[in-house]
Structure 1
Amino acid sequence: MQNTGLGSWPARRAAISPQRVALIFGDRATTYAELAARVNRLAGRLRDAGVRHGDRVCYLGPNHPEFVTTMFATYLLGGVFVPLNFRLAAPEIDYLLAHSGAEVLVYAPECAPVVRACERVATLGTVVAVGDPAAGELPYETWLAAGDDIPIDVPVAGDDVACVLYTSGTTGRPKGAVLTHANVIWNCYNVLVGMDVHGDEVTLTGAPLFHVAALHQCLLPTFLKGGCSVLMPSWSVDGCLDLIARHRVTWMFGVAPMFAGLAASPRWPAADLSSIRSLIVGGSAVPEALIRTYQQRGLTFCQGYGMTEAAPGATFLEARESTAHPGSAGVPVFFTEVRCVRPDLSDTAPGEPGEVLVRGPNVTPGYWNDPQATREAFTDGWFRSGDVAVVDEHGHFRIVDRIKDMYISGGENVYPAEVEAAIFEHPAVAEVAVVGVPDERWGETGRAFVVPTAGRRVDPGEVRAFLAGRLARYKIPTYVDVVADLPRTGSNKVRKAPLRALPLPTRQR
């Protein structure tokens, strides 16, 4: 095979296990043989439309089998896959289409209003709607069936660009992290070393596939082993519990708010979770109270740390270590180096906060069409994460916070994630976000936004009293706002910039 990249995987897996189920979506099951045939046919149609090595193919839509088909078809041609956040508005999608230099857009029907509002779409060579067509449009399945079954094998090497994944854009314009085929493959190796992924795995994909963790930490390692991925078009607690029971799910990834939502559900105490072998959480620091909630159910709740630019795995806590090190983000994954450094780039002492640096075959070569951001992201070959961690005497990393989220109150550094973890211990708190805000006396002080547990009431003064004795006084937020929900990015991370921009209430006592 000339194609040694990701595009060769469907044919390789179909040759090994053609009748195993690769994907489940609603009532539709797709075997590896069926998927490989659809990938080849779609690649042929895209090639007929002019897609060649290095051309960018975008996908816009919720989790769906055609996301996976489009991705592999693009890789089969040596193209560059660009998954887009389907929650973005038309001007934001326009920017990503223009910045990536997209030639093709494949989109889901529910995204049609946004696509029609995008000025850039009219300049693209090919625009294809998946599923039910609008009036006058060619049905996707008819268009796909017109392709031929001649196998496609073009030269694709490990160093070729596989995908451009746009970061969440919590501040400013999102950057497009470039990942090569080798970056993604080495990340999968790291996952398979750190986890006992089985060929009979049933992996629930509830987080969006345009997010690197759902795509590269779960779907692709499951694919490599010949397991089955159950795709949720959108996340819901009840939908998740229903699918776990229906398909006997063995493995799932999520961010902390997703797992917190499950634990807060009235169905949680009686839910049958006996099929689950592994739960992985990432995306942000995880409160130890949440970890204990899952451990009390006998569930292996493993935390990892990563970033889009590392494809994404940097550290991981293996299952056998999860009870002994609750709250740890683990140690560096097998084929990757991770350091924690001071501003002068010397290594920190155990327990001393520092910036996380990462180096390895899974780390991005840089940002798409942004040489300045690429230069700023690397120092002596190490990628600078912008995240703060402490490393204990056993080499375990604990992610403290983002450097940009830290604030200084009365000369003391305050890491919001630590404050959030303490507030999360309150039995009436379902979610919380803490930001630093200006203060005439202390320079900056804390402001907490608290979402109550369903059916519970939260009193701001009582929250501050709850923290007394749990945190140093300078860490206790001056302001506590009770809110219905928190603003989020497409990958379900909390967007703190809008919270910082809100006018301050009357100072609370």
Structure 2
Amino acid sequence: MINRGLGDWIHRRRVKSAGRIALVSAAGELTYDQLDERINRLASALADRGIGQGDRVAYLGENYPSFLETLFATTALGAVFVPLNTRLAPPEVGFQLNDSGSTVLIASTTLAPLALAAARKTPVQTLALVDDGPAAALEPADGDLQPMDFEELLASGAAVHPDVQIGLDDLAVILYTSGTTGNPKGAMLTHGNLTWNALNVITDFDYTSKDVSLMIAPMFHVAALGMGVLPTLLKGATVVLEPKFEPGRVLHLIEKHRATGISGVPTTYQMLAEHPDWDSTDLSSLRNLTCGGSAVPLRVLDIYEQRGLSFTMGYGMTETSPGATTLPGRYSRDKQGSGGLPHFHTEVRVVDPLNEVLPAGEVGEIQVQGPNVIASYWNREEANQSSFVHAEDGVWLKTGDMGYFDEDGFLFISDRIKDMIISGGENIYPAQVEQEIAQLDAVAAVAVFGVEDEKWGEVPRAAIVIRDGHELTEAQVLEHLQGRLARYKIPKSVIFVEEMPRTASGKIRKPDLRKQYGTV
């Protein structure tokens, strides 16, 4: 039988890349042939426990080889991989286990209490714990759900690659969105979605088999998995897995492993540049520095350009696996603030409320089409009806984001539709205001949201976290914005907070800011 899915990738690499290092982690090194054998054993062990095509297998843990072993073993069987966010509370994890119908849960020993608490009253029948850190104390398990050792589970299977017919349209991964309102939705990523996204990355980022990708962002988020790990392994290159982000250690690992690529958000790169070891670390191996989440402030660009480094920025979401657009490093300054150009095999358009395409310069909703875009959500018929537009030229995903194309075809993100502020009849997109405020050296994080106003209906307010060792006043912020933005866009008030409320994936929760700071 022919397997065209993710689960066959490492098996095909077994001979092509025999002896080459696939993974580096705290557990040591694994060559492609060693990794393939472990994947085959785990797949056989899962099959022995009744896992087959369409069944769901969940994973709860940080970056560690077992995450990828479970991903590839599960998808090799035609089953579906469900990565879980380690920052969630037991009821949130339990919701995703129930919603996905996962019958197997593989989890870190450090997260055993969370895994056990979440798995109760769910379909989970098998719980295997990975020895990837200090074991947490466990209370006696309820009922028949007795944890077993992951290595014992893996060793119980035969080193035989599954012979299963799998096509690109088959479901590979259910990845839950952040859920900033209500329960999260499970995005159904097919083998084709993830394969085409990896091809987009390889094409636009110029990956090679000699690359060393240092993964400092969690793989349970689609950005690390889709933009870093999968393209690297598809090329037969090396992935270095790091479970936590600690700036000094990251700088050490870049030099030690001669890393060619890392990815993160602007704060990640700012923290690296502010570490005492920044100037003394050899960064000459780095080629690909990818950044998402928001635009890189010019002051951060300056610091990296002094070391001969530039950023590749981009825009995307879970539903696009995740790449939609990318801004090549050569344009990081000329097109600063842009999400870039559509990925090679992806189409992006900006439309009005009637889904008519808008000309350059006009703000509308961003919609995406391509083989990397999901076709539906898991068990969410209402979302399936409201999230896609069926047009003559195919199906388009409604992103819920506002933006525009400039005359050169570069996409600029204005904001989330629901975050737009309407002040005196004028539309204000907080992202634009946040981008200007973020240029101030003293700003560690900023969020702009609307508050009620008797005269204008609502007006913008900025919440700012100040960087350690810096000072900043409201007057200085407002003075900085004068002449940079239209007067109606400038916040009418500025508040300073110790930290931002964030979702499990690190996004700022503006509803929480409005609730806490949205009144006069």
TM category, shorter? over 0.9
Describe the superposition over 1:11-46 as per-residue Cα deviations: whole angstroms up to 9, x where unpaired: 111111121111111261111111111100011111
Aligned-pair RMSD on alpha carbons?
1.9
Q: The residue matched to 1:351 in structure 2 has which SS?
A: coil
**Comparing 372-381 and 474-483, the one that deviates more:** 474-483
Residues in 2 aligned to 1:387 and 1:281: alpha-carbon distance in whole angstroms = 18
Q: Identify unmatched segments of 5+ residues in structure 2.
A: 139-145
Describe the superposition over 1:74-107 as per-residue Cα deviations: whole angstroms up to 9, x where unpaired: 0010000110111000010111111111111111
Residues in 2 aligned to 1:122 and 1:448: alpha-carbon distance in whole angstroms = 42
Describe the superposition over 1:148-179 as per-residue Cα deviations: whole angstroms up to 9, x where unpaired: 21232211111110011101112221111101
Deviation (angstroms), 1:394: 0.9
Residues in 1 aligned to 2:230 and 2:122: alpha-carbon distance in whole angstroms = 33
Amino acid of the residue matched to residue 277 of structure 1? R
1:452 is aligned to: 466
State how 1:382-401 maps to structure 2 within 5 Å: 382-401=396-415
Q: Sort the Cα spacing of 1:280 and 1:119 in 2 relative to 1 into closer, same or farther, 3 A.
A: closer
Residues in 2 aligned to 1:403 and 1:463: alpha-carbon distance in whole angstroms = 25
Amino acid of the residue matched to residue 420 of structure 1? E
The alignment status of 1:220 with 2:221, answered yes or no, reads: no
Q: Sort the Cα spacing of 1:374 and 1:320 in 2 relative to 1 into closer, same or farther, 3 A.
A: same
Residues in 2 aligned to 1:447 and 1:263: alpha-carbon distance in whole angstroms = 29
Deviation (angstroms), 1:294: 2.7
Query: Do 1:433 and 1:448's aligned partners in 2 also have CA atoms closer than 8 Å?
Result: yes
The alignment status of 1:337 with 2:347, answered yes or no, reads: yes
1:374 is aligned to: 384
Q: Sort the Cα spacing of 1:184 and 1:99 in 2 relative to 1 into closer, same or farther, 3 A.
A: same
Residues in 1 aligned to 2:320 and 2:231: alpha-carbon distance in whole angstroms = 16
1:74 is aligned to: 74
**Comparing 123-132 and 213-222, the one that deviates more:** 123-132
State how 1:60-99 maps to structure 2 within 5 Å: 60-99=60-99
Residues in 2 aligned to 1:198 and 1:375: alpha-carbon distance in whole angstroms = 40
Residues in 2 aligned to 1:326 and 1:495: alpha-carbon distance in whole angstroms = 25
Deviation (angstroms), 1:420: 1.0
Q: Sort the Cα spacing of 1:233 and 1:119 in 2 relative to 1 into closer, same or farther, 3 A.
A: closer
2:141 is aligned to: none
Q: The residue matched to 1:223 in structure 2 has which SS?
A: helix
Deviation (angstroms), 1:473: 2.1
Deviation (angstroms), 1:377: 0.6
Deviation (angstroms), 1:272: 2.7
Amino acid of the residue matched to residue 225 of structure 2? L
The alignment status of 1:272 with 2:282, answered yes or no, reads: yes
Task: Normalising by structure 1, report the TM-score.
Answer: 0.95
Deviation (angstroms), 1:114: 1.3
1:473 is aligned to: 487
The alignment status of 1:489 with 2:499, answered yes or no, reads: no
2:452 is aligned to: 438
2:127 is aligned to: 127
State how 1:12-31 maps to structure 2 within 5 Å: 12-26=12-26, 28-31=28-31
Query: Do 1:98 and 1:120's aligned partners in 2 also have CA atoms closer than 8 Å?
Result: no
**Comparing 405-414 and 277-286, the one that deviates more:** 277-286
Query: Do 2:106 and 2:150's aligned partners in 1 also have CA atoms closer than 8 Å?
Result: no
Query: Do 1:416 and 1:434's aligned partners in 2 also have CA atoms closer than 8 Å?
Result: yes
Deviation (angstroms), 1:403: 1.1
Query: Do 2:94 and 2:122's aligned partners in 1 also have CA atoms closer than 8 Å?
Result: no
Describe the superposition over 1:256-300 as per-residue Cα deviations: whole angstroms up to 9, x where unpaired: 222232234344344432111011112334444433443343212
The alignment status of 1:282 with 2:292, answered yes or no, reads: yes
Pairing partner for 1:303 from 306, 313, 316? 313
1:118 is aligned to: 118
The aligned length equals 506
Q: The residue matched to 1:502 in structure 2 has which SS?
A: helix
Residues in 2 aligned to 1:247 and 1:483: alpha-carbon distance in whole angstroms = 38
2:418 is aligned to: 404
Q: The residue matched to 2:62 in structure 1 has which SS?
A: coil
**Comparing 410-419 and 312-321, the one that deviates more:** 312-321
Residues in 2 aligned to 1:324 and 1:286: alpha-carbon distance in whole angstroms = 13
Amino acid of the residue matched to residue 64 of structure 2? H
Deviation (angstroms), 1:137: 4.9
Query: Do 1:285 and 1:401's aligned partners in 2 also have CA atoms closer than 8 Å?
Result: no
State how 1:217-256 maps to structure 2 within 5 Å: 217-256=227-266
Deviation (angstroms), 1:121: 5.5
1:351 is aligned to: 361
1:365 is aligned to: 375
Deviation (angstroms), 1:122: 5.8
1:210 is aligned to: 220
Q: The residue matched to 2:338 in structure 1 has which SS?
A: coil
Deviation (angstroms), 1:460: 2.5
Q: Sort the Cα spacing of 1:400 and 1:290 in 2 relative to 1 into closer, same or farther, 3 A.
A: farther
Deviation (angstroms), 1:472: 2.1
The alignment status of 1:4 with 2:4, answered yes or no, reads: yes
Q: The residue matched to 2:228 in structure 1 has which SS?
A: helix
Deviation (angstroms), 1:504: 4.3
Residues in 2 aligned to 1:189 and 1:486: alpha-carbon distance in whole angstroms = 36
The alignment status of 1:315 with 2:319, answered yes or no, reads: no
Q: Sort the Cα spacing of 1:421 and 1:290 in 2 relative to 1 into closer, same or farther, 3 A.
A: farther
Q: Sort the Cα spacing of 1:319 and 1:77 in 2 relative to 1 into closer, same or farther, 3 A.
A: same
Amino acid of the residue matched to residue 383 of structure 1? L
Query: Do 2:451 and 2:519's aligned partners in 1 also have CA atoms closer than 8 Å?
Result: no
Task: Normalising by structure 2, report the TM-score.
Answer: 0.93
Residues in 2 aligned to 1:295 and 1:171: alpha-carbon distance in whole angstroms = 39
**Comparing 176-185 and 448-457, the one that deviates more:** 448-457
Q: The residue matched to 2:349 in structure 1 has which SS?
A: strand
Amino acid of the residue matched to residue 248 of structure 1? R
Describe the superposition over 1:316-364 as per-residue Cα deviations: whole angstroms up to 9, x where unpaired: 1234444543332221111111101112222222211111111111110
The alignment status of 1:185 with 2:185, answered yes or no, reads: no
Query: Do 2:127 and 2:148's aligned partners in 1 also have CA atoms closer than 8 Å?
Result: no
Amino acid of the residue matched to residue 125 of structure 1? Q
Query: Do 1:97 and 1:120's aligned partners in 2 also have CA atoms closer than 8 Å?
Result: no
Describe the superposition over 1:102-126 as per-residue Cα deviations: whole angstroms up to 9, x where unpaired: 1111111121121232254564221
Residues in 2 aligned to 1:83 and 1:378: alpha-carbon distance in whole angstroms = 24
**Comparing 137-146 and 375-384, the one that deviates more:** 137-146
Residues in 2 aligned to 1:411 and 1:395: alpha-carbon distance in whole angstroms = 29
**Comparing 279-288 and 194-203, the one that deviates more:** 279-288
Amino acid of the residue matched to residue 253 of structure 1? S
Residues in 2 aligned to 1:11 and 1:476: alpha-carbon distance in whole angstroms = 56
Q: The residue matched to 1:501 in structure 2 has which SS?
A: helix
Residues in 1 aligned to 2:40 and 2:124: alpha-carbon distance in whole angstroms = 22
Residues in 1 aligned to 2:271 and 2:507: alpha-carbon distance in whole angstroms = 14
Query: Do 2:313 and 2:329's aligned partners in 1 also have CA atoms closer than 8 Å?
Result: no
**Comparing 232-241 and 73-82, the one that deviates more:** 232-241
Residues in 2 aligned to 1:286 and 1:172: alpha-carbon distance in whole angstroms = 30
